[in-house]
Amino acid sequence: MTTTVVEDLCDALPQGRVLLDPDSLAPYSRDQAPWAVNGRPRCVVRPRTAEEVQLVVRACLRHRTPIVPRGAGTGLTGGANAVDGCVVLSTEQMTAIKEIDTSERLAVVEPGVVNDDLRAACAERGLWYPPDPASAPWSTLGGNVATNAGGLCCVKYGVTRDYVLGLQIVTGTGELARIGRRTAKGVAGYDLTGLLVGSEGTLGIVTEVTIRLRPARDPERTVAGYFPSLAAAGRAVAAVSAAGLTPSALELIDRQSLVAVDEWKNMGLSAEADAVLLGRTDAPGLAGEQEAEALLACFTEAGATWAAASSDDKEAEALFSARKLAHPALERLGQVLAEDVCVPRGAVPDMLARIEEIARDRRVRIATVAHAGDGNLHPAFVVPAGDDETRRRAEIAFEEILDAAIALGGTVTGEHGIGLLKRAGLGRELPGPALAMHTAIKQALDPHGLLNPGKVIPCAPQS
């Protein structure tokens, strides 16, 4: 008698690893991208070891069943969305911090470790893991690796790829393999680790991550500026870049976001500014004071109506909390789709102006926050529940913003990934030969097209 993939999985794995109840499956069927389609999984598997992940992949290979890897489901592009009949492989129970080596400044973790939990464990040993996406209290290292996640401090310290030394993965042919290294330097062979970081589960399933760490840093100083327009704030961002400054954070909040936060938390920011720019420096001692003064000068000369360096940690945290509250504040107003484009820093003013123009032309509410220091903008589309006409216009505006970023020499995603929502945009950004290379890599590493099919690029035909 021929067995099914579910029967094989239940036979191969310990009791409780395989979820079958429809009510249990529903939360695993999609991520946080409200407009990305999702299918119905056949089952959800929650392995606890790399060997169990390998058993899952091999069972799916035998039955030619698609596998959708999933971390915490905090993604914003549909990258973890199920396809009909797939097996969703959740790494949520692989939560061990296996090692923190203070002399080599590295950590070895399983993919289900929450970002903030790793950062806290490192801090106890005087070490620091820099990538800090907004989802850090909930997102996991496996998902961060899958999307090459960034965050506030990446303007100075880089993104996830800059900290991943090595990976253990299960390949698309069911092999358990190690790639990368533990050493500070190493150029042996192709950079397979760099290739897998940001591949969104389409080339292999991560079962362990070896991460580079940094020493704990000095306390930060905060500089805040209120601006009469988004364009003026954009000019300040360009001025910071032109001055050769590298702040540890440079964040922008537009008026739409300020109003939403004020309506929720009554912080009073929108009464004083159309845009707020927040800079931080963690340079030590006198150098930090000088960098804060230089940031302040850039803000003032660009037209800030008020700007100051804060010596009050609570005041500074209150301002940065407005940045963190923007997305949940907007969600109170309707369905929110978070965009994610990145342009050269000098093009930030033009990109901000283009976003405002598109919002007017399409009659769509777009609120923008940004990791402005590295040109990574997050326009958020707010659509009232059930308003299909506004959603249609917002979908057009979504694609127009992607095209505007490409036209300015930028990219369709800075840190959220391609997933389902941006495959067309990726096709417009990459020339034909580059897309052919993507397809060739996918076919080589996942010859049966079973790993997260339909994400990033069209998957190879199943065979």
Strand arrangement, sheet containing 204-212:
97-101, 106-109, 204-212, 164-171, 176-180
Nearest CA to 330 among 258, 417, 251? 258
- Whether the pTM exceeds 0.85: the reply is yes
Could you read off the pLDDT tens digit of each residue along the chain, which spans 463 residues?
479 999 999 999 999 999 999 999 999 999 999 999 999 999 999 999 999 999 999 999 999 999 999 999 999 999 999 999 999 999 999 999 999 999 999 999 999 999 999 999 999 999 999 999 999 999 999 999 999 999 999 999 999 999 999 999 999 999 999 999 999 999 999 999 999 999 999 999 999 999 999 999 988 999 999 999 998 999 999 999 999 999 999 999 999 999 999 999 888 888 889 999 999 999 999 999 999 999 999 999 999 999 999 767 777 777 788 888 898 999 999 999 999 999 999 999 999 999 999 999 999 999 999 999 999 999 999 999 899 999 999 999 999 999 999 999 999 999 999 999 999 999 999 999 999 999 999 999 999 999 999 999 854 434 4
The pLDDT value given to residue 462 = 41
Kindly list the distances between the CA atom of residue 4 and the CA atoms of 51, 61, 380, in Å, as whole numbers in the listed order.
21, 12, 43
CATH code for the domain defined by 5-92: 3.30.43.10
Amino acid at 421: L
Residues 6+ apart with CB under 8 A from 266: none
Tokens of 460: 């190879």
| pLDDT for residue 311 | 64
The CATH superfamily label for domain 221-407 reads: FAD-linked oxidases, C-terminal domain (3.40.462.10)
Please give the single-letter amino acid code of residue 407: A
Four-CA torsion 356, 360, 365, 366, nearest 10 degrees: -20
**Which pLDDT score, from 0 to 100, does residue 458 have?**
54
Is 97-215 in CATH node 3.30.465.10? yes
CATH 3.30.43.10 positions along the chain are 5-92
Q: Where in the chain is the domain with CATH 3.30.465.10?
A: 97-215
Rounded distance between C-alpha atoms, residue 140 and residue 146, angstroms:
10
98 sits in the region (left: phi over 0; alpha: psi -120 to 50; else beta) called alpha
What's the angle, vertex CA 189, arms to CA 184 and CA 192, rounded to 5? 80
CATH 3.40.462.10 in the chain is located at 221-407
Q: Which residues, in sequence order, are bridge partners of residue 168?
A: 178, 208
Amino acid present at 454: G
